[in-house]
Amino acid sequence: MSVLSLKNVTKRFGGLTAVDNVSFDIEQGEIFGLIGPNGAGKTTIFNLITSIYSITEGQICFYDQKLERLKPFEIANMGITRTFQNIRLFKKLTAYDNVLTACHRSADYSIFNSIIRFGKFKYQERGLNRKTDELLKLMGLWDYKDIVASNLPYGLQRKLEIARALALEPKLLLLDEPAAGMNPEETMQLMELIREIREKLNLTVLIIEHHMDLIMGVCDRIFVLNFGIPLAFGTPKEIQEDKKVIEAYLGKEERNYAEG
């Protein structure tokens, strides 16, 4: 069964069609890549999945459920969480508190319990602290747990955003350019980490990236968009050899990297 299914999805902003009749299915446990030039409509697709934007035409289903007229927090509660192209952390909180705050979604103690700090509260808080510890260790952030988010190097902020998205216990994780600003070594480490969290947490992952080494190395299948229009779909090997993709995107990306 597909985890996520887009059927003929279109999004228009006034006269601009940002996403034009896009359809794809993501299978359970898959790492699925979404690539294309700047302005191709990739982030718009994330914003449609997470109900930040409403769909103009078409339909998105998560398992068998239609994602219609839901609020972004309801989408997160169903099991879809994301990171943002422009990092959105609680900048003044420590790395630890950024993750712990997200873990609180699974707490169910009463306000009374939290005031007297007894019973269920104490028991559950210990559980949430343990979960925060585990996530920080998993993401290689344990040594930075007491550092205020805005003081972390950029690459670690990106990883902290992933840790926070994982704290909500997603089934489907959406990553919008998780390697942006990372050097090649950090990017390769991130690739390993994405594989590891997929295995350990039994996740399905949808990832947008311009780093082609990462995309080609980690994805099972890739969907290519160009000006909102589907351009190609296939395995990394098929995409790398696709003439349309090379012309519209991959050739340009290589030149960008060569130019620094």
List of residues contacting ligand ATP (CB under 6 A): 13, 16, 18, 36, 38-44, 85
64 to 103: interface string for Mg ion, x by CB under 5 A: ---------------------x------------------
Contact partner at residue 140 from ligand ATP, Mg ion, none, CB < 5 to 8 Å by partner kind: none
Least separation in angstroms between residue 231's CB and ligand ATP is 12
CB of 48 to ligand ATP, least distance (A): 9
| DSSP annotation of 56 | S
Tokens of 162: 């992933």
| By the rule CB under 5 A, 43 interacts with Mg ion | yes
What does 164 interact with, of ligand ATP, Mg ion, none (CB < 5 to 8 A by kind)? none
Closer to ligand ATP by CB, 48 or 102: give it. Answer: 48
**Among 135, 137, 138, 160, CA closest to 148:** 160
Q: Provide the minimum distance between the beta carbon of 184 and Mg ion in the complex, in angstroms, as a whole number.
A: 21
Nearer of residues 99 and 190 to ligand ATP, judged by Cβ: 190
Which of the listed partners (ligand ATP, Mg ion, none) does 86 bind, with a CB threshold of 5 to 8 Å by partner kind?
Answer: none
Instruction: Using the structure block, give the residue that is written with the tokens 């909102």.
Output: 228
Closest to 60 (Cα-Cα) out of 77, 43, 46, 79 = 46
Q: Are 49 and 67 in contact (CB under 8 A)?
A: yes
Minimum Å gap between C-beta 56 and Mg ion is: 18
Answer yes or no whether residue 50 interacts with Mg ion by CB under 5 A.
no
Alpha-carbon dihedral 66, 71, 77, 81, rounded to 10 degrees: 90
In the chain, DSSP assigns E strands to 2-13, 16-27, 31-35, 57-62, 65-66, 80-82, 172-176, 204-208, 221-226, 229-234
Closer residue to ligand ATP, CB minimum distance, 58 or 79: 58
**CB neighbour list of residue 17: distance below 8 Å, 6 or more residues apart:** 10, 11, 228
| Residue 37: CB minimum distance to ligand ATP, A | 7
- Comparing CB distances to ligand ATP, the nearer of 47 and 94 is 47
The least distance separating ligand ATP from the CB of residue 41, rounded to whole angstroms, comes to 4
10 Å CB burial of residue 258 (0-12, 13-18, 19+) is exposed
**DSSP secondary structure, 123-177, as one string:** HHHHHHHHHHHHHHHHTT-GGGTTSBGGGS-HHHHHHHHHHHHHHT--SEEEEES
Under the criterion CB under 5 A, does residue 187 sit at the interface with Mg ion? no
Taking the C-alpha atoms of residue 16 and residue 208, their distance in angstroms, rounded to an integer, is 21
Number of residues that bind Mg ion (CB under 5 A): 3
Q: Which is nearer to ligand ATP, 18 or 102 (CB)?
A: 18
Residues that bind Mg ion (CB under 5 A): 42-43, 85
